[in-house]
Amino acid sequence: MKKFLSALLLGLLGLKAKIIGQGELADYGLVFADGNAVDKDGNIKAVGKNFMVTGNFSDGLCVVFIGEQTFFMDENGRFAVRLAPGTGFKTSFTEGLAAIVKNGKFGFIDKTGRVVVEPKFDYTSIAFRDGAMIVGEMKYGRMKYGRMKYGYVDKNGKTIIPPRYDEATYFSEGLASVRIADKWSVIDKSGATVSKLNLGRPVTFTEGLAPVKFNGLYGFVNKDANIVIEPKFELVSLFSGGLAAVKSGGKWGFIDKSGKFAIEPRFDEANHFKEDRAVVRVGELWGVIDKSGKFILEPQKFDYIFDEFYGGMLNFRVNRKSGCLGIDGKVAIEPTFDDIFVFEGDATAASVDYKRVFIDKKGRILPISYYFEIED
């Protein structure tokens, strides 16, 4: 009865109620108990409600929606940023900034909610990489046909390379590939062309090496454009953790930076190493190996398994339910959830019984799963 009266009271006071996160209850002299906000005498002051959640925590913040309002919430349940009316969410925070949208244009805010770049771009990529974000502006010719041109902004919101390219890739190790018409080139963060790396196709460096294709086979070049691993592989991945997945003779293995096999080709599919683990497939079964090639999770059947670890956790799905493996290959979160977002901190969003909640790395539902409407 108390819950009903509390909900009714807040409904009547809807225009005066203030939406707060679970972490802000103490500011109002309240505590969280059994899904509700209660005072020191145990009286229910507000009933907890579930957020609409877009995804996981990124850069320590997660986007949550309450009606038409958009917030960025931290892992303690406090609303760090509340977007102004008429301002929408475009990307999560990465490297300290998030993209917002207003009147069809994109800009950027910092973690205090301060607008660093007023909305003026027609496009942004989904994240900052290597200190830069791809942005786009629509350019119109004499015939009034629009064409998107791409450039870059840095973490301070400064336009470091004005939009002028027909296509652009993320920066990696200080270099990015860009295209004008049908010509690809490699640039640095000043926008200067690194002519020795103009190989006629996009180039992405990780750990000082980039995959290249010659005569139908793949090898690797360094930043001086010297071939350091001869093109002899059918397919390759980027280097990660000192190793790169390569396909040779129809099977996947891993090579080191000298081009020698660290793990002989014996897999039907292999993903790159992350957190010293790689997800591989043998036939129809998926397993996890360490850098010696030893299975820490023997190949087995999954409905789905993610291709890499995040925060020491690997998402998987069996019998239409989602769970997570730990870095040791053992089940850390039993597959009881409808879905689970990847971990980038100590908490992430999940769904259970059609409700969005937040969970920790043991699969426990956290109090920050709820928000409240408190009379202000």
Average pLDDT, rounded, for the chain: 91
- pLDDT tens per residue across span 248-272: 999 999 999 999 999 999 999 999 9
**Other CB atoms within 10 A of residue 19 CB:** 18
- pLDDT tens per residue across span 10-30: 443 344 678 999 999 999 999
Q: What is the mean pLDDT of residues 156-168?
A: 94
Domain assignments of the chain as residue spans, ordered by start: 83-204
d(CA 30, CA 44): 9
**CB 72, CB 79: distance < 8 Å:** yes
User: pLDDT at residue 44 above 90?
Assistant: yes
> Percentage of residues in the chain with pLDDT exceeding 70?
94
Structure tokens at 194: 């690194």
182: Cβ contacts below 8 Å, ≥ 6 apart: none
Structure tokens at 179: 């295209």
Q: What is the pLDDT of residue 285?
A: 97
Q: What is the pLDDT of residue 176?
A: 96
- pLDDT tens per residue across span 230-254: 999 999 999 999 999 999 999 999 9
Q: How many Cα atoms sit within 13 Å of 58 on the Cβ side?
A: 20
User: pLDDT at residue 194 above 70?
Assistant: yes
- Whole-model pTM: value is 0.86
Q: What is the pLDDT of residue 177?
A: 95
- Beta-bridged to residue 317, according to DSSP, are 304, 322
d(CA 132, CA 239): 21
Q: What is the mean pLDDT of residues 127-141?
A: 92
Q: What is the mean pLDDT of residues 212-241?
A: 95
332: Cβ contacts below 8 Å, ≥ 6 apart: 313, 323, 324, 325, 326, 361, 362, 363
